[in-house]
Amino acid sequence: MINCECFEVPVYLQSNDSWDIARLEPALHNDMPSRGWSCHWPTIWENTDFEQGGIIKLTASGQIWGLMRFEIFPSPSNFIEIFNLETTPANRQPNPKLVAPVGKWLVW
């Protein structure tokens, strides 16, 4: 399994017009949403090669705001490929986003 560290990152919470700290960390099987998201995350979990990659989640205020599935290719040039990247449906409003910048931190 790929060893991913946890990171704390700043996010803007529209609900109370303030900045907060969100966590980027490996997702667990029970974190996979089954309804309302564009990607079918339970199937993505089942098809993920955890020896070469994983799924990362961004959480703030006790809620998952985004998920990203990736794989790391160590040879010959050490690169990462992002296969799935999605924010929670509640955060897809054009303006204003409830939590920002979810996508930026998932890719970072």
Q: Quick one: pLDDT band at residue 25, thresholds 50, 70, 90? A: very high
More confident residue, 62 or 93: 62
The mean pLDDT of 3-19, rounded to a whole number, is 84
- Of 101, 75, 86, the residue nearest 11 (C-alpha): 101
Question: What whole-number distance in Å separates Cα of residue 67 and Cα of residue 85?
Answer: 6
Q: pLDDT of 41-81, one tens digit each?
A: 999 999 998 888 999 999 998 899 999 999 988 877 788 88
Is this prediction's pTM over 0.75?
yes
Average confidence score pLDDT of the chain: 87
